[in-house]
Amino acid sequence: MRHFFSTRVRVIMIVSLLIAALLGVVSGLTGKNIPSMIVQSVLSPLRSGAAAVMDQAEQVYDYIFRYEKLEAENAALRQQLTQIQEDALEADALRRENERLKALAGLLAENEDYKVVDAYIIARSAASEWVSTLTINRGSNAGITEGMCAITENGEVVGIIIEVGPNYSVIRTVLDSALGISATLSESGYDGIVSGGYSSGHKDLMRMDYLASAAVIRNNDLVVTSGSTVYPRNLILGHVVDAGFEDSGAAKYAYVRPAANIAELEQVFIIAAYEAN
């Protein structure tokens, strides 16, 4: 019997008894059973890891939700901004139209015989050394015919109708070299013919030819229509910016800046009828 237990077995038994005693003491002090403590020890790190993963998942979800919410808010704000800009442009267009109509009312009050048709410009001719035309959104359906005069609300000559369709018309402007208009220097009363200045290399100006050599011409002199079956008398053509003698010396000419800003016109008025003087 003395050798029944080997030294190794005895050591294991002693260690086991000591561990059991130690666990009993710990259990008595903490009030928890040993299996529960073991389970808690094993699960605690797992629970901490799971909690960390859940926290991270919640943060990612919150970020995605906030991003989508912000994206939706930004889209709504962009749409509102676009609408505000469109409303502002429309309001500005209405303001400009209102100002034009007020000026036109004054012109018509001074010229009660004028019958006008309003129209908006929908196209312009391509850049050319000789041609300058505008296309408007009114035609024969509105009573417009070829040969009618187009003006601004202030009585400034824009040009003459050269082509008419049911719902459009083409205006040859005062800058077109093919258009000739009988004109008068308002201050001195000298007469001449005004046409586009392309042929002289002044595409933004008109040229007044056939002025008498004795004509008194000053810069900024007002040039108006002489009156005809096409153009009523005293419509505004523009102002003199330069003058000189023809090569022959027998006549003078003058360069005239159009009163109507052809490049920026939005709306024109067609004189459909008037009483020629």
Q: Global pTM? A: 0.68
How does pLDDT run across 217-247, given as a tens digit for each residue? 999 999 999 988 889 999 999 999 999 998 8
Which regions of the chain does DSSP assign to beta strands (E)? Answer: 115-124, 133-136, 149-151, 157-164, 169-173, 181-185, 191-196, 206-212, 222-225, 236-245, 251-258, 267-273
Instruction: Please give the pLDDT value at position 18.
Output: 59
Instruction: Please give the pLDDT value at position 1.
Output: 44
Contact (Cβ atoms closer than 8 angstroms) between residue 161 and residue 146: yes
How does pLDDT run across 5-62, given as a tens digit for each residue? 466 656 566 655 555 555 555 555 555 555 555 545 544 554 555 556 566 656 665 6
Q: Closest Cα to residue 195, out of 132, 153, 245, 243?
A: 132
**Position 70 in a domain:** no
Are both 53 and 151 inside the same structural domain?
Answer: no
Q: How many domains does the chain have?
A: 2
Q: What would the two tokens of residue 156 be?
A: 């400034």
**Position 63 in a domain:** no
State the residue for tokens 């595409």.
203
Of the residues 18, 34, 57, the one at which a domain ends: 57
Query: In terms of pLDDT, which residue wins out, 212 or 85?
Result: 212
**DSSP calls for 98-135:** HHHHHHHHHHHHH-TT-EEEEEEEEEEPPP-SS--EEE
Give the confidence band of 71 by pLDDT, cuts at 50, 70, 90. Answer: confident
The one-character DSSP state at 230 is S
Instruction: Please give the pLDDT value at position 248.
Output: 81
Query: In terms of pLDDT, which residue wins out, 34 or 138?
Result: 138
Are both 14 and 128 inside the same structural domain?
Answer: no
Q: Which domain holds residue 28?
A: 7-57
**Position 143 in a domain:** yes
Are both 186 and 52 inside the same structural domain?
Answer: no
Q: Judge residue 44's burial from the number of C-beta atoms within 10 Å of its C-beta, 0-12 exposed, 13-18 middle, 19 or more buried.
A: exposed
**Position 92 in a domain:** no
How does pLDDT run across 141-200, given as a tens digit for each residue? 999 999 999 999 999 999 999 999 999 999 999 999 899 999 999 999 999 999 987 766
Query: In terms of pLDDT, which residue wins out, 40 or 86?
Result: 86
Q: What is the average pLDDT value for the chain, to the nearest integer?
A: 81
Q: What is the CATH number of the domain that holds 174?
A: 2.40.10.350
